[in-house]
Structure 1
Amino acid sequence: MSAVDPIVIVDNISKTFHAGGRSHRALDGISTTINRGEVLVVIGPSGSGKSTFLRTLNALETIDSGSIIIDGVSLTAKKTNVDQLRTEVGMVFQHFNLFQHKSVLDNIILPQKVVRRRSEAEATKVAQDLLEKVGIPQLADRYPSQLSGGQQQRVAIARSLAMNPKIMLFDEATSALDPETVEGVLELMGQLAAEGMTMAVVTHEMQFARKVGDRILFMDNGKVVEERKPNDFFDNPQSDRAKLFLEQIL
Structure 2
Amino acid sequence: MTQIDGQPRVRITGATKKFGDNVVLNNVDLEVRAGEVAVLIGPSGAGKSTLLRCINGLERLTSGTVEIDGVRLEYRERSLNHMREHVGMVFQSFNLFPHLTALENITMAQVVVGKRSKSEAHDRAAKLLFRVGLGEKANSYPSALSGGQQQRVAIARALAMTPKLMLFDEPTSALDPELVGEVLQVMRELADEGMTMVVVTHEMRFARQVADHVVLLADGAIAEEGPPEIVLDAPASDRARSFLSKLQADG
Change (3 A) 1:147 1:31: same
2:97 matches 1:123: no
Structure 1 residue ranges without an equivalent (≥5): none
| 1:191-244, Cα deviation, whole Å (9 max, x unpaired) | 000000000000000000010000001000000010110001111101111101
Question: Do the aligned partners of 1:73 and 1:80 also contact (CA within 8 Å) in 2?
Answer: no
Q: Which AA in structure 1 matches 2:136?
A: Q
- 2:14 corresponds to: 12
Q: Identical aligned pairs, as a percentage?
A: 51
Could you say what secondary structure the match of 1:81 adopts?
helix
2:188 matches 1:190: yes
- 1:218 corresponds to: 216
Q: Which AA in structure 2 matches 1:205?
A: E
Question: Do the aligned partners of 1:88 and 1:163 also contact (CA within 8 Å) in 2?
Answer: yes
2:171 matches 1:173: yes
Change (3 A) 1:203 1:79: closer
Q: Which AA in structure 2 matches 1:141?
A: N
Change (3 A) 1:80 1:107: closer
| 1:146-200, Cα deviation, whole Å (9 max, x unpaired) | 1100000000000000000110000000000000110110111000000000000
Could you say what secondary structure the match of 1:235 adopts?
coil
| 1:5-61, Cα deviation, whole Å (9 max, x unpaired) | 11111001100012xxxx210000000111000000000000000000000010000
- 2 CA distance for matches of 1:125 and 1:83? 24
Q: Aligned to 1:55, which of 31, 53, 56? A: 53
2:235 matches 1:233: no
Question: Do the aligned partners of 2:87 and 2:167 also contact (CA within 8 Å) in 1?
Answer: yes
Q: Displacement of 1:71 after TM fit?
A: 1.3
Q: Displacement of 1:76 after TM fit?
A: 3.2
Change (3 A) 1:80 1:6: farther
Change (3 A) 1:117 1:215: same
Q: Aligned to 1:247, which of 240, 245, 248? A: 245
- 2 CA distance for matches of 1:234 and 1:41? 11
Q: Aligned to 2:90, which of 89, 92, 97? A: 92
Structure 1 length-normalised TM: 0.96
- 1:142 corresponds to: 140
- 1:111 corresponds to: 109
Change (3 A) 1:44 1:4: same
- Moved >3 Å (runs of 4+): 76-80
- 1:25 corresponds to: 23
- 1 CA distance for matches of 2:14 and 2:26? 8
Q: Displacement of 1:80 after TM fit?
A: 6.3
- 2:159 corresponds to: 161
Q: Which AA in structure 2 matches 1:152?
A: Q
Could you say what secondary structure the match of 2:232 adopts?
helix
Q: Which AA in structure 2 matches 1:8?
A: V
Q: Displacement of 1:92 after TM fit?
A: 0.1
CA RMSD for the aligned pairs? 1.2
Question: Do the aligned partners of 1:104 and 1:141 also contact (CA within 8 Å) in 2?
Answer: yes
Could you say what secondary structure the match of 2:171 adopts?
coil
- 2 CA distance for matches of 1:115 and 1:80? 12
